[in-house]
């Protein structure tokens, strides 16, 4: 039975839903390998560095999850997310000295690649002579920045990029990261900018083969994806600093929904954004205040993420220091 909105599902029922979600999900490919990468990355970055402090680690989620409609998937439900927010935020977290686990939807926007054209291979390269290719002069700075900056942070062990496509892959990876990040307590942060599907077809009730057309309308039952944010906060990584995002198309309900997410899922911050203005402004909602963050071209920065990450890093520092007392 669906509960009227606003009513909380009891924790035991939620735990049972989550258990059943993970038990019935198709298992993650290379999960041992992925788990090992997370562990090595977090361990290495949590060791004391030259300044006597452990590096903070943030898991940035980015892009949208898909909902497969068939086990041998031909069709799926998707959403609009381009991964721009996650990619830009990753750059600013790295600049602020964080190590970043970038959990991103395959083929979405990547850190340091935001200035590249849509089809970089065809638009940036040109053929010279019989056997050489070179970067077109017009794009050479963007290509150089993308390659040198990405290679530098990956080589230094500061950026770990792992892709997902489906809701099943995403949630399994998020849980794995959280179990690893719990070892560094308040030094861990989750910045959950991915647009995660709210409804899905459970693997066990999904048809195996391609859905056939020709027999009239398609009736399909989607069930609600169990809300994992509360268990992330309470059970998976209880000391981590957690920021979730709330997107709405109706500005009238945006802040109310963000407030609800803050108290229901015990987030430290909720970043509220409206579809039409999300590149221009966001509102950071905490238990004490609502802070409007706007893109400020006059400061020479062309995105909202610069100021947003500055604010978040400052609040995370206060949070970490409250544990040192
Ligand atoms: O990925 P993008 O840059 O195109 O968009 C970012 C965003 C709007 C998906 C993000 O800011 C966000 O609100 N994510 C959470 C969406 C939600 O599930 O409510």
The answer to whether residues 191 and 59 touch, using CB atoms and an 8 Å cutoff, is: yes
Nearest Cα neighbor of 81 from 59, 66, 102, 92 is 66
The pocket around ligand 1, CB under 6 angstroms, is made up of: 81-85, 193, 195-196, 245-247, 273, 278
Return the closest-CA partner of residue 222 out of 241, 246, 244, 206: 206
- Residue pair 15/231 in contact by the 8 Å Cβ criterion: yes
Helix axes 84-95, 305-324, angle to 10 degrees: 50
The residue whose CB lies within 8 Å of the most ligand 1 atoms, and thus the one to mutate among 193, 246, 279, is 193
For 95, the token pair is 């600049």
How far is C-alpha 71 from the chain's CA centre? Answer: 25
Give the DSSP H/E element, type plus range, for residue 209: none
**Closest Cα to atom 18 of ligand 1:** 195
In what helix (H) or strand (E) does residue 104 lie, and over which residues does it extend? strand 99-105
DSSP string, 43-84: HHHHSB-TTSSBPPEEEEEESB-BEESBSS-S-EE-----SH
pLDDT tens sequence for the chain (325 residues): 444 444 578 889 999 999 999 999 999 999 999 999 999 999 999 986 667 788 999 999 999 999 999 999 999 999 999 999 999 999 999 999 999 999 999 999 999 999 999 999 999 999 999 899 999 999 999 999 999 999 999 999 999 999 999 999 999 999 999 999 999 999 999 999 999 999 999 999 999 999 999 989 999 999 999 999 999 999 999 999 999 999 999 999 999 999 999 999 999 999 999 999 999 999 999 999 999 999 987 777 789 999 999 999 999 999 999 998 6
Q: Which ligand 1 atom minimizes the distance to the CA of 279?
A: 3
Tokens of 117: 């054209």
Locate the ligand 1 atom nearest the alpha carbon of residue 246 and give its number: 19
Q: Whose CA is nearest to atom 10 of ligand 1?
A: 193
| 8 Å CB contact between 62 and 105 | yes
Enter the ipTM. Answer: 0.99
DSSP tag of 275? G
Residue 193 and residue 247 in contact, taking contact as beta carbons nearer than 8 Å: no
Could you give the angle at which helices 167-181 and 31-46 cross, rounded to 10 degrees? 30
Residue 273 CA: nearest ligand 1 atom is: 13
Structure tokens at 43: 């361990």
């Amino acid at each position: 039975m669906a509960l009227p909105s606003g009513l909380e599902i009891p924790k035991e029922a939620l735990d049972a839903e989550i258990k059943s979600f993970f038990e019935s999900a198709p298992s993650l490919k290379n999960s041992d390998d992925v788990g090992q990468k997370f562990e090595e990355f977090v361990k290495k970055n949590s060791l004391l560095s030259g300044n006597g402090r452990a590096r903070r680690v943030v898991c940035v989620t980015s892009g949208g999850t898909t909902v497969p409609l068939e086990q041998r998937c031909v069709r799926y439900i998707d959403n609009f997310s381009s991964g721009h927010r996650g990619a830009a935020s990753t750059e600013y977290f790295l600049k602020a000295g964080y190590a970043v686990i970038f959990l991103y939807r395959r083929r979405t926007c990547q850190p340091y690649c935001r200035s590249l054209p849509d089809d970089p291979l065809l638009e940036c390269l040109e053929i010279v002579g019989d056997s050489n290719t070179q970067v077109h002069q017009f794009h050479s700075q963007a290509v150089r920045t993308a390659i040198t900056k990405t290679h530098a942070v990956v080589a230094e062990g500061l950026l770990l990029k792992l892709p997902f496509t489906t809701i099943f892959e995403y949630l399994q990876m998020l849980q794995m990261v959280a179990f690893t990040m719990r070892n560094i307590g308040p030094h861990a942060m989750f910045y959950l900018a991915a647009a995660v599907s709210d409804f899905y077809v459970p693997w066990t009730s999904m048809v195996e083969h391609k859905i056939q057309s020709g027999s009239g309308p398609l009736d399909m039952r989607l069930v609600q994806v169990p809300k994992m944010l509360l268990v992330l906060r309470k059970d998976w990584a209880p000391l981590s600093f957690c920021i979730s995002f709330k997107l709405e198309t109706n500005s009238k309900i945006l802040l109310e929904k963000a407030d609800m997410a803050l108290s229901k899922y015990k987030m430290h911050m909720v970043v509220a954004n409206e579809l039409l203005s999300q590149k221009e402004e966001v509102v950071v909602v905490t238990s004490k205040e609502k802070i409007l963050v706007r893109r400020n071209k006059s400061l020479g920065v062309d995105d909202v993420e610069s100021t947003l990450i500055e604010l978040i890093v400052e609040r995370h520092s206060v949070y970490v220091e409250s544990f040192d007392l």
